[in-house]
Amino acid sequence: MDSGAIQSVQRGGAAAEEKVHKVTFLPMNKTVDARTGISLLDIALENGIDLEHNCGGNCACSTCHVIIVRGMESLTAKSLDEGDQLEDADGLMVNSRLGCQAKIHGDVVVEIPL
Ligand code: FES
């Protein structure tokens, strides 16, 4: 069972339920709340966390490279394009992802390589 909380959100007059998850960014050890379907890059930028994104989140660079410390199963699957682009990332690891491509649906701990 997902550990995310459920919040009621009013949208256009209709109530909708959205799950909210915890995303922790290392090494700054900052934990923020984020909704299902939001990319790690957008979560970082919305919360003042500096994550490079030279191509603007279009899977055309590798500057948004992050390492998933915990919660890989809480992310959308890696596409072939993302896998190809990741090949150019410095310090590539088996649990590397592109922050702009990985969208959450559960709690995640993410390390931003220095
Ligand atoms: S911002 Fe360029 S690949 Fe993510």
Q: What domains appear along the chain, each with residue ranges and CATH number?
A: 5-111 (3.10.20.30)
Per-residue model confidence (pLDDT) at position 114: 86
Q: Which contiguous run of DSSP H or E holds residue 30?
A: strand 30-35
Is any atom of ligand 1 closer than 6 Å to the C-beta of 59?
Answer: yes
Predicted model pTM: 0.87
- Residue from 97, 100, 112 whose mutation best tests the ligand 1 pocket (most atoms within 8 A of CB): 100
- Residue from 42, 53, 65 whose mutation best tests the ligand 1 pocket (most atoms within 8 A of CB): 53
| 36 C-alpha to ligand 1 centroid (Å) | 20
SS3 9: strand
From residue 104, alpha-carbon distances to 7, 41, 96, 108 in Å are 16, 11, 15, 8
Per residue in 44-87, pLDDT (tens digit) is: 999 999 999 999 999 999 999 999 999 999 999 999 999 999 99
Q: How confident is the model at residue 6 (pLDDT cuts 50, 70, 90)?
A: low
Q: How confident is the model at residue 18 (pLDDT cuts 50, 70, 90)?
A: confident
User: Quick check: 64 and 41 in contact, CB under 8 A?
Assistant: yes
Per-residue model confidence (pLDDT) at position 50: 96
User: Which ligand 1 atom lies nearest to the CA of residue 99?
Assistant: 4
Q: What is the mean pLDDT of residues 94-110?
A: 98
